[in-house]
């Protein structure tokens, strides 16, 4: 079985799926109707299948590689350069991901993170810049006293 990355031809969708099949056509057919490509949204002519030979060795009887399966995710990131879409990449999730060692997106997120980011706890405070204060030379979180803080709501439950 050969590994194919199936995605939409025009690049409208940020998603791709790795399918194991004998041909490109079969790979697209297998992909249509999955959670990634529901039958009512895509037809055969809107998708393309590109060979991913580096993933061939990861065929173990399954038709698809599952992004939620950490073993599959590591293989997809390490061997084929997959990563989370910018809209869904979150530095906190990335820190717990086993594929971060090989992920260029994780490196980019780390490079773009600032020292202030760890103190940005909620949307309201982030917009106003009130989620921290400077105490001497140290940043101190204001979340314990913030009325919008989810930490306070947890304590009251």
Q: For 9-18, 88-97, 117-126, 132-141, which range has the lowest pLDDT when averaged over its residues?
A: 117-126
Residue 114 scores a pLDDT above 70: no
Residue 150 scores a pLDDT above 60: no
Query: pTM of the entire structure?
Result: 0.66
127 with 70, same domain: the answer is no
Residue 75 lies in a domain: yes
6 with 71, same domain: the answer is yes
Task: Give me the domain span that covers residue 131.
Answer: 117-156
* In contact, 101 and 77? CB cutoff 8 Å: no
């Amino acid at each position: 079985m050969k590994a194919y990355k199936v995605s939409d031809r025009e690049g409208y969708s940020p998603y791709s799926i790795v399918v194991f099949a004998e041909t490109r056509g079969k790979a697209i057919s297998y992909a249509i109707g999955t959670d990634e490509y529901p039958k009512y949204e895509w037809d055969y002519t809107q998708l393309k299948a590109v060979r991913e030979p580096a993933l061939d060795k990861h065929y173990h009887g399954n038709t698809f590689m599952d992004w939620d399966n950490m073993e599959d995710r590591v293989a997809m990131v390490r061997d084929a350069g997959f990563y989370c879409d910018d809209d869904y990449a979150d530095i906190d999730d990335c820190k717990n991901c086993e594929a971060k060692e090989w992920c260029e997106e994780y490196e980019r997120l780390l490079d773009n993170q600032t020292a202030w980011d760890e103190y940005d706890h909620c949307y309201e405070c982030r917009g106003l810049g009130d989620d921290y204060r400077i105490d001497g030379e140290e940043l101190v979180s204001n979340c314990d006293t913030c009325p919008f803080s989810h930490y306070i709501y947890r304590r009251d439950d």
